[in-house]
Amino acid sequence: MIDDIKKDAEGRMKKTLESLQANFHKIRTGRAHTSILDAVTVEYYGSQVPLNQVANVNIEDARTLSVVPWEKPMVPKVEKAILTSDLGLNPSTNGNVIRVPMPMLTEETRKGYIKQARGEAEQARVAVRNVRRDANGDIKSLLKEKEITEDEQHQGEDAVQKLTDKYIAEIDKLLEAKEHDLMQV
Using alpha carbons, select from 150, 159, 171 the residue that is nearest to residue 6: 159
* pLDDT tops 70 at residue 39: yes
pLDDT higher than 90, residue 133 = yes
The CATH class given to the 2-26+106-183 domain equals mainly alpha
Q: What is the DSSP letter of 122?
A: H
pLDDT at 17 over 70: yes
Residue 50's DSSP bridge partners are 41
Tell me how far apart the alpha carbons of residues 62 and 47 are, in angstroms, rounded to a whole number: 32
Per-residue confidence band for 147, with pLDDT thresholds at 50, 70 and 90: confident
- Per-residue burial over 92-119, b if 16 or more Cβ lie within 10 Å, else e, is eeeeeebebebeebeeeebeebbebbee
Would you place residue 30 in the very low, low, confident or very high pLDDT band (cuts 50, 70, 90)? low
Predicted pLDDT of residue 179? 87
Nearest to 8 by CA among 125, 138, 98, 142: 138
The CATH architecture to which 34-101 belongs is 2-Layer Sandwich (3.30)
The model's pLDDT over 81-120, given as tens digits with 9 standing for 90+, comes to 888 887 778 888 888 888 888 877 788 888 888 898 999 9
Mean pLDDT computed over 53-65: 85
Residue 1's pLDDT is: 81
Sequence ranges of the domains in the chain: 2-26+106-183, 34-101
**CA dist 31 to 94, 117, 129, 171, Å?**
21, 16, 33, 23
